[in-house]
């Protein structure tokens, strides 16, 4: 049986990059649109325990990066472009269909779906590049 070799430093950096992308995506880049789509106001968001949510999100991104690193190893992805391609495949084959279920069955906005899917495309692309570039 083949043993999977994971660069934990790269996993950590990839997880941090995922949180940073989220901060930018749902903040300065598309924050106003996101607030409108989720029917929230900036005042409501100020009441939210943001630090706690960022900590939970970091551990979520850490898990994603760790599993992604294993997939990249098993896929023999060695270059940043390989990492990008595998990220794109994961996004297209798993994230898009899973997110679509929320639109079909819960009535989630199609625009919010596209915004969220764009975020995951960027996150998986960045993670794939980081995980393959960091040797």
Q: What is the pLDDT of residues 85-101, one digit of tens each?
A: 999 999 999 999 999 99
pTM of the model as a whole: 0.92
Task: Encode pLDDT of 7-54 as tens digits.
Answer: 999 999 999 999 999 999 999 999 999 999 999 998 888 888 889 999
Instruction: Give the C-alpha distances (Å, rounded to integers) separating 83 from 70, 88, 105, 132.
Output: 12, 9, 32, 6
- CA-nearest of 65, 74, 67 to 1 is 74
Helix (H) or strand (E) holding 44: helix 42-46
- CA-nearest of 105, 54, 94 to 71 is 94
């Amino acid at each position: 049986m083949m043993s999977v070799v994971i660069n934990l430093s790269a996993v950590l950096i990839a997880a941090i990059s995922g949180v940073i992308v989220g901060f930018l995506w749902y903040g300065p880049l598309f924050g106003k649109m996101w607030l409108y789509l989720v029917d929230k106001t900036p005042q409501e968001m100020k009441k939210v325990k943001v630090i706690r949510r960022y900590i939970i999100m970091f551990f979520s991104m850490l898990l994603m990066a760790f599993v992604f690193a294993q997939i990249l190893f098993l896929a023999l992805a060695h270059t940043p472009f390989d990492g990008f391609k595998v990220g794109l495949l994961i996004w297209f084959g798993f994230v898009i269909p899973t997110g679509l279920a929320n639109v079909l069955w819960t009535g989630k906005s199609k625009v919010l779906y596209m915004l969220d899917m764009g975020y995951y495309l960027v996150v998986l692309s960045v993670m794939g590049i980081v995980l393959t570039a960091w040797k």
